[in-house]
Structure 1
């Protein structure tokens, strides 16, 4: 299955007022758009990467201010390479096997993880897209008709059925849901 690039930057947000999308884009731009609003309609802000609703503080004093950087702390691992030491619990036979591998346990584990990431990349992309779409639709459309059946269709990978079930939902909700679920469908 080809990966559909949804061009979602890591800090991208989408804001709804009721079922109408009123703002979308990078966090700073969304905050600026929302500060210029004069109405008091409740807003629902979603993280586009996770689909989760978030609280967004629009006060001027809520913005991060530049502060002096803290001195770096000495950590275990190879921080310059991005290596962070963590604990892994394995059975003795697993440690024995890892220690017999060329380069030792760390090299063997990194190779195993990289191989698994490559082999499972498509499945991980599909799963992540489904979970992101589900979080969004649960928060904004959980009470709409056919929500439960649409959720089942989403996780079953039944795109045509899913699209039919959400066809009667508000246009902006459907459009955002289509964007979030773009990678949720397995192409045979």
Structure 2
């Protein structure tokens, strides 16, 4: 008569197969985690870009609303040298009756020489506001009191402006796709 053998545990082959399956499951979960982490990072960068774009349009709108502020009523021009891709905004913030061009009383919006960064020049200080601007991605449109679009190249157009609209477009980058946003503001001092 032969004695019966009772196996108490797993064989080496069973243990190796179980370890390989567990390792494959951990590797799959780690890969999934990394994919989700990268996607969240890209989504965060894209959201940050949208917020920057909206904030830039909001800043331009606030400056446009303030343009022409003239507490001394001397008839200061609020919009000077308007073009489709730049504008100079003026406001007599200190009530002196004159515009100090080296202070916050004169603000210029324009693209840099390379044409890919929107700049805000406050007095003599150059502040880059937004980068990755698409070719022809910064456009300004000017409207009179009857909402008729003005040609900014016509002499005296800046004196008739009551509404300014802004179009901003960003080119696609690794962080975000191409984005476009439009906003506008009425001059409060007209």
TM-score with structure 1 setting the length: 0.24
TM-score with structure 2 setting the length: 0.24
User: Rg: which structure is higher?
Assistant: 2
Between structures 1 and 2, the one with greater strand share: 2
Between structures 1 and 2, the one with greater helix share: 1
